[in-house]
Amino acid sequence: MKTKILPKRKNIAIVAHDNKKQEMVSWAERNRDVLRTHRIFATGTTGKLIEEALDAPVHKFMSGPLGGDQQIGARIADGEINAMFFFWDPLEAQPHEPDVKALLRIAVLYNIPLASNTSSADFILKSPLFDEEYDMAVMDFEDYLNRSLPK
């Protein structure tokens, strides 16, 4: 295991399925003052709604089904996203379900804080660890990358 220092000012990804967008917006409005101290990245429509709710700039990727989930996943793998708030709908099948699963998998693989509902989002955002530098454990993939492959 290696460690990585998460900066005091985090890069936060925000994603919400259609049936969870209003819940996400309400949560963001309640936490406007804290969220505005960090950099926000979001998928398409969610990003537009969050930008309006916070009255702050949001870096917007494509809509989730059009590749936005994968864009955020790539940023996580590159170490550019430090936390993710992803309000996904467990009762509605998503046409891009493999992308959703891949995004959740990559967030867990890279050990970033991940909230999937308002309770977990509140616990993460209100943690004293969230507003300071944090020495985070990260997996060392060197052995995996240098493994011998069968011929």
73 is in an annotated binding site: no
pLDDT number for residue 146: 81
Residue 97 lies in a domain: yes
Q: Is 135 a catalytic residue?
A: no
Q: Say whether 118 counts as a known binding-site residue.
A: no
What local confidence, expressed as pLDDT, does residue 97 receive? 81
- Token duo for residue 115: 């909230």
How does 113-148 read in b/e, with b if 16+ C-beta sit within 10 Å? bbbbbbeebeebbeeeebeeebebeeeeeeeeeeee
Residue 62 is predicted with a pLDDT of 96
Q: Is 3 annotated as a binding residue?
A: no
Let me know if residue 135 belongs to a domain.
yes
Question: Of 18, 33, 69, 140, which residue is the catalytic one?
Answer: 69
Is 150 within a domain?
A: no
Domain that holds residue 126: 2-145
pLDDT by residue for the chain (151 residues), tens digit each? 888 899 999 999 999 999 999 999 999 999 999 999 999 999 999 999 999 999 999 999 999 889 999 999 999 999 999 999 999 888 777 777 888 899 999 999 999 999 999 999 999 999 999 999 999 988 888 877 888 888 8
- Predicted TM-score (pTM) of the model is 0.91
